[in-house]
Homo-oligomer: A and B are copies of this chain.
């Protein structure tokens, strides 16, 4: 395919006319398609229906430590849930605390606690003039929303194919005491699907933060969410790596079963050093008598162990893989060689990230919407919703059916082409 840039004004105009005709045809169909959020599909939810039967009125509801899970007690998680989530996130059982249904809630509470009570005895962040967070971009909008909510200044750190630009991260963290944290989705990142390289993880573990209450917020949301059985990314386990480097307290690791069992009815956890967990429990025992132990038991008994969970994830992969491949093959077929956008082919996670020509993302999302396709709002993958290049678009292929995805991606690439031609034409003719 000839890059659009190399086409003449006449050729581009002709192309545009034809694309507009196709666009009008598809628009007339009044479609309603959604590629905006990383929601599992009905078929994926059906995979866990057995979980609805694993506990019933005949079940023994006493957990390993001998506690009746129907009653009060056990602040930080029953033993079998700790074991399962510890294995899931590759840490020792004693380094994990189980929470409620949402790892986002755990992250929010972690920041809220730091604001009002500091971190392991440090000055509460709300008493400081300025608190800053590093935000690898593109990233997860809900992370950025938390730090924005607390008035924390967010600094963009560009992502590379190996993870965040570590030169920048080191420069900020090691010199600026106001930098208290960094948001990371280290494996199959949201939205690019990038897994941090070994070198990146090691550089994280070797940080020498100016602030002693600096923490890496390591949101391992997609730790076992592979798309392929034979091609899987590997991420170095950060807690152990930090410990080796003499920085055992520098990281909080978050995870949940939201995209393993049921979103909203899963189990979330934090993994951290004993000193961090002691600090967390101090607040936790004021905040609650305990989280839902029956749901913890339900999860532990349904998956049995980490092997059961890994096998379960293969079934998710079988459903997700064709969807990702549909989107990617339409993009490659229709956009390949045109030089009006780039993307990475992820091996796991929930998203595909598309980088359009500068200044085109908003217009593309608007165009797709015209024809009934809802995309994640352009800018959402950046702090304050502001993509400085107006270029990044997040594609979430999990929820629609493969048939819907094919149509939706067709509309998306059509929108990309139309908006890109407009941009190139306006440059060529000005």
Contact = CB atoms under 8 A, between A and B. Distances in A.
A14 interface: no
Interface stretch (A217-225, A260-268, A356-364): A260-268
A240 interface: no
A265 B292 contact: yes
A293 to B, nearest CB: 5
A45 B71 contact: yes
B45 A70 contact: yes
A241 to B, nearest CB: 30
Given A56-B56, A68-B42, A262-B294, A288 B104 contact: yes
Contacts of A286: 108, 142, 145-146, 149
A280 to B, nearest CB: 13
Contacts of A49: 57
B294 A292 contact: no
Contact of A264 (B39, B262, B289): B289
Interface string A31-44: 00000010110100
A264 B291 contact: yes
A388 to B, nearest CB: 23
Interface string A258-296: 100011110000000000000000010011111111110
- Prevailing SS type, chain A contact patch: loop
A429 interface: no
A68 B45 contact: yes
Report the copy number of this chain in the oligomer: 2
Contacts of A109: 287
A117 to B, nearest CB: 8
Nearest to A45: B70
Nearest to A37: B72
Contact of A71 (B39, B61, B289): B39
Contacts of A8: none
A71 B108 contact: no
A327 B134 CA distance: 60
A101 interface: yes
A215 to B, nearest CB: 18
B287 A265 contact: no
Contacts of A160: none
Given A39-B71, A116-B126, 9 more contacts: A39-B72, A50-B57, A52-B57, A56-B56, A69-B264, A70-B263, A101-B291, A112-B112, A116-B116
